[in-house]
Structure 1
Amino acid sequence: MASYTLSAFHEPLIKVRFQERPNRFLVRGIDAQKQEYLAFLPNPGRLSELLLPDTCIYLIKKSPSQKERATDFTAIAVERDGVPVMLHTHLCNDMVEVLLKKQKVPGLEKASIVRREVKFGKSRFDFLLQDQAGEIYLEVKSCTLFGSGIAMFPDAVTERGTRHLMELAHLAETSQFRCCVLFVVQTDTARYFMPDYHTDPVFAGTMVQTKDLLRYVPLPVAWNSDMSFTAGRKPLQIPWSYIQKENEDRGAYLLVLKLEKDSAVTIGALGTFTFKAGYYLYVGSALGNLSARIARHKRPLKRFHWHIDYLRQVAKNVDAFPIRSSSNIECALADALRPLYETPLPRFGSSDCTCRSHLFRSSSYPVHDAEFHTVLQRFRMQKPPENTLI
């Protein structure tokens, strides 16, 4: 299969080891000679499963047209399993332009580009295309979240993305124009594509509601070490009925709490215990109103009801990871975490089951652990049944 290279990637690649992300648009890394690099990251996503400590990231020097930018380098990709994953969302449209001109986008092989960055009313879409049947509005999204044969978008709540879908659907419903959303999936290891209903159920629900008005095309792309890329021959499968079934406000959740110092805490009838400084992972579930349950756990001041409420009072930060599911996976999730972390207090959060505990401890921030993300993705990225692919 033919491979292509973007002109922006003709600059020599600089490989560094990721150290930190000071803010959404900056990354810091060091090379083999311990030289430090601060680079612009043109990607607002969370990327927490990709930007792990010492992971290899690819940088290029900024172009002469970017001379006023403070940073001299741009982060364009990160390695996962030895293969680069493209991070540069600004260049995703350049990729799509190449693929459209080479007739490599399924269903749009006969479409030509009229222009890019097209305004329609108050909206702006990435491409206006033309084929024998008329004009097509095309919106492009870059997907970097994948695992277990599943690709998902977005990796963070995207009100803007939801608005794009609604505006395109309105355009398709009230005019003669056809509208399409192309998800450029930055891997060729996935078989299925789903909206990430765990992270953004509103976006997922909007996709389901508009599936008969918009054409959704999740196109896998394989990247090579020299940053050349090859498009897959056919889109990934979207299991619509499975998404609709699972995108409900119930399931399990994982909380990560930070204790800055050793603290003696009374945990209801369990008694008083000293919790060492560090990070605590708690597994819970809600058969309904999952979002409200998580919001409650994030509030420090409330009436105590669950064991975690007592520990929450002395915790500084709380990160929450919902896992929406029609199955009861709480104990299975706790079982998966148990070999990875300490169990500081038996029976914590598990008084109504046979699990030893639903509370675990780590001396380091678990969100920076690859094993944490492996477990999280195992439960979030379940293979859909074959009968949901119709």
Structure 2
Amino acid sequence: MKRIILAGGGHGHINILKELINNPTVDYEIHLITDFNKQYYSGMLPGFVEGIYKEEEISFDVKNLCEKAGVNYINEKIIKIDSDEKSVSTILMDDYIEIKEKPSSYKEKWYLENKSKINTYEFDFISMNLGSYSKKYFPIDSRNSRYVKPICEIVDFKNLLDTKEHFIDKLTFKEMIIIGSGASAIELAISINIKYPNINVKIISSSKELACRFNKGSKGKLREILKAEDISFQLNEDLIDVDRKNKRIKTDKGSYSYDYLIISSGIEACDIEYKGYETTEDNYILVDDKLCANNFSVCMGDMICLKSNPNIPKVGVFALRQAPILFKNLINMLNNKEPQYKYTPQKKYLQILNCGSQKAIINYGNLSIYGRLAWMLKDHIDKKYMNV
């Protein structure tokens, strides 16, 4: 019996699990390996922070989906994927937690000295959907600061704020700095500002504009919304240092104190060794237009670099379009057929940014629509996606 490994629990593999639930197979032995027991949907995260959605409404229980789909769920951390040996190496989550904040040199030494703790799973075919992580430019204190990726960090941070804010006098104001001015940073700033009236939110970004991938009309509306919500934003300002002890950041234009800090600027590939695969210098796997890395490996999402279009943004709208193509080409491989479905990045794509209070902005090409109807469309799309 052929063995398939689904490496990672991202949106593409959630799609595969949904397909298998509706159309079960007994012809293959399928394992899903992930270090996350929940897969959060980023599109609904701001609504969760604001209090519109509950945590279970914005997340998939990966283990539960695997059980329904007849897939073996393995909650371990992937450290290596070997194309030559057709194998995946992992360590247990307790071991990973122990070493994850250590430098690369320490990890490499640990792997050498603890070979007996490394598990190996062989495969005939592999699908990779491992996502990306925030680029950790500076060490931070998790008690008051977070990077935005993985998304579970913000979910945990929101739960932490709920606990702390419950005991804080609502007249005692706290300062939050959000680094970054992309869509996710703006959505978080607005949702936090609404949910926690005693937190003053300030956006600081090295970018010269808000939401750089949005059109002129949407950018102008976002400026209006931030000003109306009394959320300050300082653009064209580079973060230079984070002083965890004294809770201060330093930029090229000044120094600012904070009670809470969120960093939403820059991502990096997973810290995984890809042996025998063609990768970029920064460890993204190179794939063709059929999302194939070779004749037994398919990959999608933030972890890939498309050879024909290496500069497409790392945004969820592209990953969602890739998911069905990944599944169809994987099925072709399993049936000894050539993958035939091609992924073509859309030149114009729909973006709906949550603006809080059940209002949103639709951004598509030069079209910009703001209001409750935009939010209702987003809510409908998001809930439909979350339906299993």
Is the TM value for this pair above 0.5? no
Into which bin does the TM-score normalised by the smaller protein fall?
Answer: under 0.3
Bigger Rg, which one: 1
Structure with larger RCO (C-alpha < 8 A, sep 6+): 2
TM-score by length of 2: 0.25
Structure 1 length as normaliser, TM-score? 0.25
